[in-house]
Amino acid sequence: MCLINVIQEYLEVEMRNNQYFVNEYEKYLIGINYKKNTVRFNVYTIKKFISLCMIKDIKDVKEDDIKRFVSKMVMIKSAHKKDYSPQTINRMVSCLKHFFVYLYRNELILTNPFEDLVLNLRYIERTRGILSCEEINRFLNSIEVESDYGKRNRALFELMYSSGLRISEVINLNLEDVDLKERVLVVRNGKGGKDRYVPFSKVSESFLRLYIENCRKEKKLIDEKALFIGQRRRLKKSGIRVIFIKILKECGIDRKDITVHSLRHTAATHLLEGGADVRYVQELLGHEDIETTVRYTHVLMEHLKREYKSVHPRENKYYEEVNEEYLEELNKLKEERIKRKKINNKKNKRKRVI
């Protein structure tokens, strides 16, 4: 009897098709409280992988199938006739990796194709869109605050830049989540289902107060708890994106790499440029892994390299030929160095006297 049960169990496992594995993984993700959109994206990715690479049986997937998937995703277009962004492809690979880890740990497959797989995905990484200090000031200052919508938009984007909030986090904020006196807000059920407290700036506080005290009282709201509202309901992601793009165009910032999420990248980068500790920025942004935050330091290094190449005489155009123009610039640099040296000497003398 025991032998018959073992044989039956074996046959049942063999009969399990790809859809069975997808369904089980979907139940697992829902069970560990993944958000609906995240679950939907994971399922979409796995199905895309199966169809694109013509996988007959998940149990037979090899390293080459994963590599083939990546190369095909780089070449094909989405349903909207657009290229898949590098960020999306990286995210899809991550989804597949977690899927196969789940199958392997639950003994649904014998081998994990990701176990010894080395993928060089750097060539498809997208540069993070970062606004300069001048650009972010121009963007925020261009938002008029005469109308109710203008006050709301200024408060919204000031808060996103001030606290590095995700678009999903800012639309889910309720009035009770914001403490104007202490200048602290609570992000509820953020990424990974975690809550966190986030500070915001004095400037952000002033525009939030202006919006809350002047733009909500006389309106009959369907969602009275929501902090940021449209006509009567909670503001949606699509609405924020439309407003953001419109303001960008109005203030003359024409860059394809800039999205609403760039406000979060910009906040992190400017904090690190100002000398903030990486651990603080990690807590502010709600990153579980500090490596995610450390990526922003690579952006700072790229900025430093660009600045170096633009001013160093051996890196810029004057290195091409030693002529009068080159020598003139070199003398200017020498004079500037002498001036700074004199200023530093004066400061050191004052310190000694004190």
Interatomic CA distance for residues 354 and 153, integer angstroms = 51
> In the chain, how many H helices and how many E strands?
14, 3
Structural tokens at position 14: 């063999």
Residue 46 Rama label (left phi>0; alpha psi -120 to 50; beta)? alpha
In contact, 305 and 318? CB cutoff 8 Å: no
Query: Is 166 known to be catalytic?
Result: yes
In contact, 199 and 183? CB cutoff 8 Å: yes
Per annotation, catalytic residue among 72, 261, 318, 326: 261
Q: Which amino acid is at 200?
A: F
Query: Is 35 known to be catalytic?
Result: no
In contact, 198 and 187? CB cutoff 8 Å: yes
* Strand, helix or coil for residue 323: coil
Per annotation, catalytic residue among 72, 183, 191, 196: 191
Query: Is 265 known to be catalytic?
Result: no
Per annotation, catalytic residue among 48, 166, 234, 270: 166
User: E-assigned strands of the chain?
Assistant: 178-179, 184-187, 196-199
Per annotation, catalytic residue among 154, 264, 265, 270: 264
DSSP letter string over 107-156? TSSS--TTTT-----GGGPPPP----HHHHHHHHHTS--SSHHHHHHHHH
Query: Is 296 known to be catalytic?
Result: yes
Rg (CA), the chain: 27
Interatomic CA distance for residues 162 and 271, integer angstroms = 10
Interatomic CA distance for residues 163 and 92, integer angstroms = 28
Residues involved in catalysis: 166, 191, 261, 264, 287, 296
